[in-house]
Structure 1
Amino acid sequence: MQLIACPWCGEREEAEFHYGGQAHVAYPDDPYALDDEQWARYVFFRDNPQGPFAERWVHSAGCRRWFNALRDTVTHEFLAIYDIGAERPRTTGGAPASPQQKGQEAG
């Protein structure tokens, strides 16, 4: 069982969390102005990289709060945990950032 470090509750088992998709995807300024193709691109088209990827997660069985995580999609290692409104941290690899280091560079 993988442990995920909730910024508010600390490390918990992954079964307590739900994946919320790619982080840093801005909602359209005027969604009514989008045609069907543009709306489909917003809803369904996401990056699918190998390596570090910014994601949204919610601690659904705990505090129910959302946060962002930088996770390596190859190893599944969480490289950083940071606030929803914060910029994606730059990482050089190494140990995952603790909840106290959220929003800072890991490694």
Structure 2
Amino acid sequence: MLKITCPFCGPRTESEFIFGGPVGADRPDPNAVSDAQWVEYLTIVPNPLGPVQERWWHARGCGEWLTIWRDTRTHDIVEAPNGSE
């Protein structure tokens, strides 16, 4: 189980949080892209190896949204690559 550190509540177990998904590209305007691009956006889920920026909601705590970096190979929560967030 992941241990996620909430900046307001401190270290908590993953069971207090709801996964909000990876931080990704903005949703395209469906009227401005081709049908194939729209279908790809809706159906293709990236599955990268290594550090991924993710959103987590502290649903059973303070109710805040957090952005963390998690390594998909080890599930360890890591610092942002190159110090960026």
Structure 2: any 5+ residue segments left out of the alignment? none
What CA deviation, in whole Å up to 9, does each residue of 1:22-54 have, x standing for no partner? Answer: 1032122x3343444322222332321221111
CA distance in 1, matches of 2:62, 2:71: 24
CA distance in 2, matches of 1:41, 1:69: 26
Number of matched pairs: 84
> Do residues 67 (structure 1) and 58 (structure 2) align?
no
Q: 1:67 to 1:44 in 2, by over 3 A?
A: farther
Classify the secondary structure of the residue corresponding to 2:81: coil
Instruction: Name the structure 2 match of 1:84.
Output: none
The alpha-carbon deviation at position 63 of structure 1 amounts to: 1.7
CA distance in 2, matches of 1:40, 1:66: 28
Over aligned residue pairs, what C-alpha RMSD do you find? 2.2
CA distance in 1, matches of 2:24, 2:8: 21
Structure 1: any 5+ residue segments left out of the alignment? 81-88, 92-104
Instruction: Name the structure 2 match of 1:8.
Output: 8
Amino acid at match of 1:90: P
Question: Is contact 1:4–1:14 with CA below 8 Å preserved after alignment?
Answer: yes
TM-score (norm 2): 0.76
CA distance in 2, matches of 1:66, 1:45: 25
CA distance in 2, matches of 1:5, 1:66: 12
The alpha-carbon deviation at position 61 of structure 1 amounts to: 1.0
Classify the secondary structure of the residue corresponding to 1:61: coil
TM-score (norm 1): 0.63
Classify the secondary structure of the residue corresponding to 2:4: strand
> Do residues 21 (structure 1) and 17 (structure 2) align?
no
Which 4+ residue blocks in structure 1 deviate beyond 6 angstroms?
A: none
